Amino acid sequence: MIHDHLELEELLAAYALDAVDPDEDRRIERHLRKCAACQGELPTYHEVASLLVPDEPAPDDVWDGIAAALEETPPPLELAPVVPLARRPSRSLRLLTGLTAVAAVAIAVLGVRVISQDHRLNRMQAAMAHDDLQRAALAALANPTATTVELRATQGSATARAAVLPDGRGYLLTDGLPRLPVGRTYQLWALMDGQRISAGTLGLEAKAAAFHVSGPIGGFAVTDEQAPGVVASKNPAVLIGWLQPA
């Protein structure tokens, strides 16, 4: 019972911030109904939580103000006279203890939210970059000055379309290529005078890619290679096709 009390007492700060899971919430509710000590401590945690987590969002310039304050030279340190612990108000001590505990939980909760938002932002940026690349590829394929190619699978039904603009910029769109296992990558090759010249790697899922070529390109091939790609390859082509003037 003492162990349970100590464990649940440590969760009061998180409980005040609504940062416990449903099972912990139910355990704490049951404990509070029969523990006068924790009932007395909980208002302190709620009070501190209300100071740390306001209902309204912080003003836009709050972080600028904090940063400016951090850059200022701190004032001379003046130590307060030592006061015996017994003379300090018990409410202040409880508030300080609550502030420390709730602040630690608040930092942890906010840290998890920042990490989650950062991951979500990265996914959104990746999706936007992919959409931009697809639009650029479709525009190149529709450009009457581009040289285009249809690539077909040596086995299976996957296909791809490539377009090379007069300045050497090229784009590739694929359809139906299976996702490769970790440690592998699709690689694009320009076919020139019977040789394969690497035009870049395409990753585990070769959906859309940009590349640059120069010289008399005869066609393109896509192979399955060991990541992060190779300088030269004799692996059979997964997709292959030959350039035709538009």
CATH number, domain containing residue 182: 2.60.40
Give me 40's structure tokens: 């007395």
In a domain, 46, yes or no: yes
Residues 107 and 209 in one domain: no
pLDDT confidence tier of residue 88, bands split at 50, 70 and 90 = very low
Q: Which domain holds residue 30?
A: 2-118
pLDDT at 61 (0 to 100): 60
Give me 123's structure tokens: 């996914």
Beta bridge partners of 162: 149, 172
H or E stretch at 110:
helix 90-142
In a domain, 132, yes or no: no
242 pLDDT higher than 80 = yes
In a domain, 174, yes or no: yes
pLDDT confidence tier of residue 43, bands split at 50, 70 and 90 = confident
Give me 167's structure tokens: 């300045």
Residues 96 and 8 in one domain: yes
Which is nearest to 106 in space by CA: 53, 173, 185, 33?
A: 53
89 pLDDT higher than 50 = no
pLDDT at 71 (0 to 100): 59
In a domain, 141, yes or no: no
In a domain, 137, yes or no: no
In a domain, 130, yes or no: no
Q: Return d(Cα 25, Cα 34) in angstroms, integer.
A: 15
Q: Poorest-confidence range of 4-8, 56-60, 190-194, 230-234? A: 56-60
pLDDT confidence tier of residue 202, bands split at 50, 70 and 90 = very high
Would you give the distance in Å from CA 170 to the centre of its chain? 29
In a domain, 25, yes or no: yes
In a domain, 209, yes or no: yes
Q: What is the mean pLDDT of residues 96-105?
A: 62
Percent of the chain with pLDDT over 90: 36
Which is nearest to 14 in space by CA: 98, 139, 83?
A: 98
3 state SS of 135: helix
Q: Which of 116-120, 197-201, 239-243 has maximum average pLDDT?
A: 197-201
Residues 7 and 113 in one domain: yes
Give me 81's structure tokens: 């006279």
pLDDT per residue over 166-185, tens digit each? 999 999 999 999 999 999 99
pLDDT at 238 (0 to 100): 96
46 pLDDT higher than 80 = no
pLDDT at 69 (0 to 100): 56
Q: Return d(Cα 36, Cα 193) in angstroms, integer.
A: 87
Q: Return d(Cα 194, Cα 192) in angstroms, integer.
A: 5
pTM of the predicted model as reported, rounded to 2 decimal places: 0.50
pLDDT at 210 (0 to 100): 94
Residues 109 and 11 in one domain: yes
Q: Return d(Cα 102, Cα 100) in angstroms, integer.
A: 6
pLDDT confidence tier of residue 3, bands split at 50, 70 and 90 = low
